[in-house]
């Protein structure tokens, strides 16, 4: 049943977040043996289920996927087939969404201080048959830049509502000055947008990873945006109140009650425009897991250090946000019935980068670790592979589905130096921003 076929009175199942222990251990071991580590594993079925829950919770709203959470072709195709739209933060994400099959009318480009090259590309694609595309602007300058390029299509205005929340100060956007036009100037910018093209929507976003007490800030944002929408002339078709739905990464965090969030959003949204939401993390976070192998085990006075082949270049969130990801060993058991189970040991799990920040987890209880152990790092489907880097000249890991389909092959050192090797050309080689589908390549 699609979201449009449901009524707000119907309740949808909101299962607990998928933890490392919920994945098939034997299957994960098999994938690690076949493709090596570090390795990201994605489950498209879980992505599809999460999309269905969102459509069920917001039956009368437009649900767009925040593409930046995970841009792999497999995820995008799964999300598109589920019926969600695509909310894109860059020209590259717009291209990926279009290439994955999203029709232009279900794609929205939310430009934050957009580079000229991004605007050039998006306007070109709009001219080439993407006239249903919607561009969101967060500054008057962006409107002028679009007008200079001849864009007169659908326009949405991002507003700074003066209220923010999120799991970390670095992802609290609703009250940060770089995001959106000031609330008291929204009217004039919306009028200007209608002069440049067709003003169709408002947008605001409180922050990322919102849950628990932070939901009150989300409700305030929704109410403010609804009030603004009713005051505008012309009135917007839709009001996007962002995404940012939190995922409880730790077992100690209460699960997100999606139905209650949806009800509270509807209650606060008192206007005639269509409600739009744009979750990203909720769609993919627990649809992904990271596999890594222990490379060294070292006992110290403070702890037992487990060195692994995944680090901040593989999964940046712990170093950047002090984020928690559950870690589980697949090479022993702490509380099982195995007579040869290893003793539970307090460990520090660290990566191969020579920086103190390169820690995936502190004070984690694992079966007494040994070199060669296979560890899983949970809920890494969102902002895991997406934020991976080649710092220290470390190639990015492979990504495969739970069924063993290659989503992205493992990078090689040759991949890392290819642009340097091509340095004698005119700089245009490989400039096409269209993304290649590498799923058929070997990992």
Annotated binding site for substrate: 281, 317, 321, 355, 383
Q: What is the 3-state secondary structure (H, E, C) of 166-212?
A: CCCHHHCCCCCCCCCEEHHHHHHHHHHHHHHCEEEEEECCCCCCECH
**How far apart are alpha carbons 350 and 355 in whole angstroms?**
10
Provide the annotated binding site: 244, 278-281, 317, 321, 355, 383
- Catalytic residue check, 354: yes
SS3 312: coil
Own/partner long-range contacts of 256-259 (Cβ < 8 Å, ≥24 apart): 256/14, 256/211, 256/282, 257/14, 258/12, 258/14, 258/53, 258/54, 258/57, 258/282, 259/11, 259/12, 259/14, 259/57
Catalytic residue selected from 51, 190, 347, 354: 354
Q: What is the 3-state secondary structure (H, E, C) of 279-292?
A: CCHHHHHHHEEEEE
**How far apart are alpha carbons 135 and 348 in whole angstroms?**
45
**How far apart are alpha carbons 274 and 226 in whole angstroms?**
10
Q: Rounded to 5 degrees, what angle do the CA atoms 373, 300, 295 make?
A: 25
Q: Rounded to 5 degrees, what angle do the CA atoms 70, 133, 99 make?
A: 45
SS3 436: coil
Distances, alpha carbon 433 to alpha carbons 96, 117, 122, in Å? 9, 10, 11
SS3 361: strand
Residues with catalytic roles: 354
């Amino acid at each position: 049943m699609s979201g449009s076929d449901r009524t707000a009175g119907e309740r949808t199942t909101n299962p607990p977040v998928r933890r490392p222990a919920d994945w098939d251990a034997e299957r994960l071991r098999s994938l690690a043996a076949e493709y090596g580590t570090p390795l990201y594993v994605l489950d498209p079925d879980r992505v599809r289920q999460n999309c269905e829950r969102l459509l069920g919770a917001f039956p009368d709203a437009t649900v767009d996927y925040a593409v930046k959470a995970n841009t792999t072709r497999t995820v995008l195709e799964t999300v598109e087939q589920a019926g969600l739209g695509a909310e894109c933060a860059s020209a590259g994400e717009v291209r990926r969404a279009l290439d994955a099959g999203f029709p232009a009318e279900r794609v929205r480009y939310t430009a934050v201080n957009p580079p000229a090259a991004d605007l050039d590309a998006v306007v070109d694609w709009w001219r080439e048959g993407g006239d249903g595309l919607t561009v969101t602007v967060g500054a008057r300058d962006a409107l002028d830049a679009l007008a200079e390029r001849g864009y007169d299509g659908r326009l949405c205005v991002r507003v700074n509502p003066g209220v923010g929340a999120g799991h970390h100060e670095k992802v609290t956007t609703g009250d940060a000055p770089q995001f959106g036009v000031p609330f008291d100037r929204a009217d004039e910018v919306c009028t200007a947008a209608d002069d440049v093209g067709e003003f169709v929507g408002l947008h605001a976003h409180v922050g990322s990873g919102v849950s628990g007490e932070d939901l009150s800030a989300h409700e305030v944002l929704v109410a403010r945006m609804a009030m603004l929408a009713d005051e505008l002339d012309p009135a917007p078709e839709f009001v996007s109140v962002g995404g940012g739905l939190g995922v409880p990464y730790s077992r100690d965090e209460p699960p997100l009650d999606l139905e209650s969030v949806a009800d509270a959003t509807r209650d606060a949204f008192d206007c005639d425009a269509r409600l739009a939401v744009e979750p990203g993390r909720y769609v993919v976070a627990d649809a992904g897991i990271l596999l890594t192998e222990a490379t060294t085990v070292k006992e110290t006075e403070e702890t037992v250090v487990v060195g692994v082949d995944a680090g901040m270049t593989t999964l940046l969130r712990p170093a950047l946000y002090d984020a928690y990801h559950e870690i589980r060993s697949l090479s022993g058991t702490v509380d099982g019935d195995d007579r040869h189970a290893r003793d539970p040991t307090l460990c520090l799990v660290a990566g191969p980068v020579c920086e103190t920040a390169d820690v995936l987890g502190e004070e984690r209880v694992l079966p007494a670790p040994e070199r060669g152990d296979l560890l899983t790092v949970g809920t890494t489907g969102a902002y895991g592979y997406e934020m991976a880097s080649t710092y220290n000249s470390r190639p990015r890991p492979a990504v495969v589905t739970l069924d063993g389909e290659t989503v992205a092959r493992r990078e090689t050192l040759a991949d890392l130096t290819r642009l340097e090797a091509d340095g004698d050309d005119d700089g245009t080689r490989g400039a096409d921003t269209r993304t290649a589908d590498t799923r058929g390549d070997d990992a």
